[in-house]
Amino acid sequence: MRIGLFGAGRVATALAPALVAAGHQLVFVVSRTLPGAVALAAQLPGTGPPLAFAELPTLPPADLYLLAVPDAAVAAVLAAVAWPAGA
């Protein structure tokens, strides 16, 4: 499954290696800051580009978009992202 991951904190850092080990592909990692996304993506071979949240004009296609962000950030992420049709 192609997964887009929002977040690069503790939850994302725990989930991402398990997802990759299970055979899933992370098509991108998004974080509030680019260094956070770069650090997580660097640990996971084959991961798509690391992105900062502000750099997302549109989302790269994925089968699943996984939000691993603080509870207080969920509504802002959902409102700010241009989700593809059917997402």
C-alpha–C-alpha distance, residues 87 and 82, integer Å? 10
- Confidence (pTM): 0.87
> Average pLDDT of the chain?
88
Is there a contact between 4 and 66 (Cβ–Cβ < 8 Å)?
Answer: yes
- Look at residue 15 and tell me whether its pLDDT is greater than 70: yes
Give the CATH superfamily of 2-70: NAD(P)-binding Rossmann-like Domain (3.40.50.720)
Is there a contact between 13 and 40 (Cβ–Cβ < 8 Å)?
Answer: yes
C-alpha–C-alpha distance, residues 60 and 72, integer Å? 24
> Using one digit for the tens of pLDDT, what is the confidence trace for 65-83?
999 999 999 998 888 887 7
Is there a contact between 16 and 27 (Cβ–Cβ < 8 Å)?
Answer: no
